[in-house]
Amino acid sequence: MPVELQVIRASEFVRLDPGDNLDFEASKEALRTLAQACRKRGLGCAVLDLRELPIPAKPQFTKAQLGALVAIFRDAGFLRHQRLAVLYSRDVHGGIRDFAFIGRMRGLQVQAFTDYEAAMLWLSEGENYLHSQADAAPVALRQVQDKAKKLRVKRGNGQSALN
């Protein structure tokens, strides 16, 4: 069964300040933009891939910050039937599993995985994810209305005609 999803790599939303410390506000804003893009595309599934992140010596996020990151997805329009899989290699401080737990506590379908295949299986299990196109946010299109000009075109016989 095909699954259409958005893969969000940590390098796309984790922002560091000049001292290589986590810039939480900039990371939050980047994650918001990515979550809104999923919503606009009508995608029912997303993968947050954190496998490439280095393991920090101490926790990078407080519980309140993890809750704020979960809120980004809710504020961007992620609905109860949509699924977010979080891939990680190691969760020494438990922050990734806490993020998934907080997400479930707030009514979202969020699961943390160390195995890519298990994450894909979980994402494809729900039958509601196929209906996400109906929940897609409308994208405003602007149609430019130029008045067409008729040009004279010379034919091979020397006569001109309007096109």
pLDDT tens, 27-52? Answer: 788 778 777 877 788 887 888 888 88
Q: If you average pLDDT over residues 80-94, what whole number do you get?
A: 89
What pLDDT does 46 receive?
84
DSSP per-residue codes, the chain: -----EEEEHHHH--B-TTS-B-HHHHHHHHHHHHHHHHHHT-SEEEEE-TTS---SS-SS-HHHHHHHHHHHHHTT--TT-EEEEE-S--TTSHHHHHHHHHHHTT-EEEEES-HHHHHHHHHH-SGGGGGGGGPPP-------PPPPP-EEE-TTS-EEE-
Compute the mean pLDDT over every residue in the chain, rounded to the nearest whole number: 76
What pLDDT does 35 receive?
79
**CA gap 74, 116 in Å, rounded:** 24
pLDDT tens, 119-159? Answer: 999 988 864 444 444 445 554 444 445 555 666 667 666 66
Residue 161, pLDDT above cutoff 70 = no
Q: Is the pTM of this model over 0.75?
A: no
The pLDDT confidence band at residue 61, using thresholds 50, 70 and 90, is: confident
